[in-house]
Amino acid sequence: MTDVMTSPPPATRPAEPSSGSAIEWVRKNLFSSVGNTIQTLLFTGITLGLIRAILGQVFYEDANWASVATNLRLLMMYNYPSDQIVRVWVSAAIVLLAAGLSLGAWAVEPGYQVRRLGGHLVGIGIVSLVIRVLLPEHTPGVVATVLVVVGVVSVLLGVGVRRLNGNSDRVIPFGSLIAGICALFVAIVWFVPFGQYGLVDGTLIAESGVTVASSTKVPWTVLMVIVVVSHRIGLIVGRIIGSAMRRALSAFWVVGPAFIIFVVLRDPAFDWAHVWSTDIPMGAAFAIGGAALLYATTAPGRAEIARAVGAVIFAGALFNWVAAFFGWYPMLQKARLSFLLLAVAVLLAPAFAGDRATRRRVATMWIVAIAVIHWLITAINTESTLVITAPPFLGGFVLTVGIAYYVMLASFPLGVLLSLARTSRLPIFRVMSTAYIEVIRGIPLITVLFFFSIMLPLFLPKGMGISDLAAVFAGYTVFSAAYMAENVRGGLQSVRRGQYEAADALGLSTVQRTSLIVLPQALRVSIPNLVGQAIAVFKETSLIAIVGGFDLLRIANSTIPNQPDFLGQKRPGLMFISLLYFVFAYTMSKSSQRLEARLKDAQAR
């Protein structure tokens, strides 16, 4: 695979024109005829006019960009207690550490040619200078100065880089690229006077016009160092124990964020007596009993028994859920969930049947899964020692990212199952799944969110509650799964019949055929659509504002404009969050293109 990562430049790419032939190029492509010249002039005029108009919106008469700069913490974390802010830094450090390790372990190496770097720098410089020329009159002087400096320096650097590089195909290693970006970021943090101010713990912590930025400089620097170092470590360790490391990191990306949200950011106050008397014995019982059951049912030739046992447990588990709705007899949520999991695992056991080593592996995986799930449920259900002044302990950008991430993570497998059901030969599955998908797709997201956050709690049985956060998450997942399902179905239809036949002819079971042959191909085809859906999920988290969550939109639209210093200052905040959304959505879109290209290269077809 390594030959694919470096993405060698196509040999046929013509050398970019040097400054001499640049004029030639312009003449040939932009001013070749009268019509072409008119078009060029017209569209240049329109583009410049548009930039001018946008700049007029950005630097309008009484724009106060301090409303964004001083409210950054609010936008990121909402009213997270300021004396506990170190938890936020630890969380960010864990995420960035894992990100760096992952980039290294998967050897993501998008080559960045030196020649292109030069071109990009010149481009940035020219755009900066053009913007400087088009700035409205009442723009703060410092902006103009910065633009001129950035413009001139970029152009000079770019030209210099291209001169030095000549015509060679040198590529900047990804590690150096990361280091460069991190260094730039650290420099910005140290030299640009960001402030923090705003509604922190319900009080204003800064005088107007005074910024308190010192506390973020050092943590950010540490975080950037972590990124660079962890990428390096990921590369080195990945070469030695690649697959084990990738498996561990994949597990982290599934469980880690929940750990961060509900343990690091929230710090559960464990009732240790209860943990010892109930949680641990119950977890152990499920882990050991389930492992023994799975070990027994994965023996070859016991498929019938496994299905029967699985069905019995499944019926019992379903009964538990129904009974809970009528309040017939109480059972811990965790036990209900575990029974359901056990039923599914036993039903699937025949597909994983094998020799002793395989069976032992299945049993071990079960124990690990139960340990993680039980511990997370305990942590999530336990109250927090963290004293939070207002109820939502998550808000701002963290809420956006957290909700979007888990909705994607949960709705993806749900969507895959739905699409498989919809293409199934069994009419009952097909009808149910089609009905679900069509009904959900016919309802606006906002309605689904209202239903889950306002109506659902009314229907829940006595003693079962659902927090706002969980309601939004559940509703959004239900909604998104329908769309995911349709995207995956498109991919499923692209898998040729011969693939099914070849899998059948080799004696693969239906589960094996689906998971090993059909889905991998279908998902590859669906990547662009799935990423499109992921981007939609990310952006539409802004609807959480309407059902009561304090997300970016709500903060920018109503919290900041109500601060005494920034009365009515909506536009800067809204523009800032637009930029934030755009940067993340664009990154996702770009990575999906890269992923597609990489898979296509790997298969060379």
The HSE-up count of residue 427 (CA atoms within 13 Å, CB side) is 0
Query: Can you say how many angstroms the Cα of residue 331 is from the centroid of all Cα atoms in its chain?
Result: 35
Contact positions toward other proteins, by CB under 8 A?
Answer: 300, 303, 353-355, 357-358, 496, 498-499, 501-509, 512, 516-517, 520-521, 524, 602-605
Nearer to other proteins, 564 or 605 (CB): 605
Smallest distance, other proteins to C-beta of residue 4, A: 11
Question: What CA–CA distance (Å, rounded) separates 184 from 191?
Answer: 11
Smallest distance, other proteins to C-beta of residue 263, A: 37
> Which of 274, 247, 255, 458 lies closest to 361, judged by CA?
247
Smallest distance, other proteins to C-beta of residue 458, A: 46
Smallest distance, other proteins to C-beta of residue 501, A: 5
According to DSSP, residue 16 is labeled P
Instruction: Take residue 532 and report the two structure tokens written for it.
Output: 């499109």
Smallest distance, other proteins to C-beta of residue 354, A: 4
Contact 513, 504 (CB under 8 A): yes
Smallest distance, other proteins to C-beta of residue 416, A: 16
Smallest distance, other proteins to C-beta of residue 171, A: 24
Nearer to other proteins, 424 or 512 (CB): 512
Token look-up 């240049």 returns 44
Nearer to other proteins, 73 or 513 (CB): 513
Instruction: Take residue 565 and report the two structure tokens written for it.
Output: 């210093």
Smallest distance, other proteins to C-beta of residue 487, A: 18
Smallest distance, other proteins to C-beta of residue 499, A: 6
Token look-up 């160092």 returns 225
Smallest distance, other proteins to C-beta of residue 369, A: 21
The values of phi and psi at residue 399, to 5°, are -65, -45
Nearer to other proteins, 298 or 477 (CB): 298
Q: What is the DSSP string of 432-475?
A: HHHHHHHHHHTS-HHHHHHIIIIIHHHHSPTT----HHHHHHHH
Smallest distance, other proteins to C-beta of residue 425, A: 13
Question: What CA–CA distance (Å, rounded) separates 421 from 458?
Answer: 31
Smallest distance, other proteins to C-beta of residue 5, A: 16
Question: What CA–CA distance (Å, rounded) separates 231 from 110?
Answer: 14
Nearer to other proteins, 5 or 284 (CB): 5
Nearer to other proteins, 301 or 427 (CB): 301
Q: Residue 268: beta bridge partners? A: 384
SS3 string of 64-102?
CCHHHHCCHHHHHHCCCCHHHCHHHHHHHHHHHHHHHHH
Token look-up 């040999």 returns 11
Smallest distance, other proteins to C-beta of residue 351, A: 9
Question: What CA–CA distance (Å, rounded) separates 363 from 290?
Answer: 8
Question: What CA–CA distance (Å, rounded) separates 360 from 315?
Answer: 27
Instruction: Take residue 306 and report the two structure tokens written for it.
Output: 């496994």
Nearer to other proteins, 277 or 494 (CB): 494
Instruction: Take residue 242 and report the two structure tokens written for it.
Output: 């690649």
Contact 380, 279 (CB under 8 A): no
Nearer to other proteins, 133 or 602 (CB): 602
Question: What CA–CA distance (Å, rounded) separates 298 from 301?
Answer: 8
Question: What CA–CA distance (Å, rounded) separates 7 from 137?
Answer: 46
Nearer to other proteins, 322 or 357 (CB): 357
- The per-residue b/e assignment along 217-247, b for 16 or more CB within 10 angstroms, e otherwise, is eebbbebbebbbebbbbbbebbeeeeeebbe
Q: Residue 203: beta bridge partners? A: 200
Nearer to other proteins, 413 or 520 (CB): 520
Contact 79, 201 (CB under 8 A): yes
Nearer to other proteins, 358 or 385 (CB): 358
Nearer to other proteins, 33 or 605 (CB): 605
Instruction: Take residue 142 and report the two structure tokens written for it.
Output: 């410092």
Contact 572, 64 (CB under 8 A): yes
Nearer to other proteins, 4 or 414 (CB): 4
